[in-house]
């Protein structure tokens, strides 16, 4: 069998899963967008603080592979994981806008009293 035939045989027997991956990305695009933004902020912070992925992994008590997954921007992190990263790097990843809005006593267009109950 010629090299060309071997290559053709290999290529025709291997199924591509690009469509499945594209469909998955479309279904999950909302949280993936947030995950990418978080990953970018973590990467910028690591660079600014002169830290390696390995050092962050040590601070988080996780494997360097887990940090690598997070920095790819496709990891669906729990709030617990996000809070640990915020603490380890002394940054805010998701809390700023939430806290600013809560401080103004407005939530989804409703004015809130001190106990957080709606006046409306």
**Which of 10-14, 82-86, 100-104 shows the highest mean pLDDT?**
82-86
Q: Which domains does the chain have, with CATH numbers?
A: 17-91 (1.10.260.40)
Mean pLDDT of 66-93: 95
Q: Spell 83-109 as b/e; 16+ CB within 10 A means b.
A: ebbbebbebebbeeeeeeeeeeeeeee
CA–CA separation, 83 vs 85, rounded Å? 5
Write the DSSP assignment of 20-45 as a string of letters.
HHHHHHHHTHHHHHHHHHHHHHHHHH
Band (pLDDT 50/70/90 cuts) for residue 118 is very low
Mean pLDDT of 89-103: 69
Band (pLDDT 50/70/90 cuts) for residue 99 is low
pLDDT digits (tens, 9 = 90+) for 23-65: 999 999 999 999 999 999 999 999 999 999 999 999 999 999 9
CA–CA separation, 112 vs 62, rounded Å? 40
């Amino acid at each position: 069998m010629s090299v060309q035939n071997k290559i053709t045989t290999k290529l025709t027997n291997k199924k591509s899963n690009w469509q499945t991956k594209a469909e998955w990305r479309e279904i999950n695009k909302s949280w993936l967008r947030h995950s990418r933004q978080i990953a970018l902020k973590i990467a910028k912070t690591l660079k600014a603080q002169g830290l390696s992925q390995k050092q962050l992994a040590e601070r988080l008590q996780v494997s360097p592979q887990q940090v690598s997954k997070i920095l790819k921007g496709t990891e669906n992190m729990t709030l617990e994981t996000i809070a640990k990263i915020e603490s380890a790097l002394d940054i805010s990843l998701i809390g700023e806008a939430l806290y600013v809005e809560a401080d103004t006593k407005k939530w989804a267009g409703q004015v809130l009293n001190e106990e957080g109950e709606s006046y409306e």
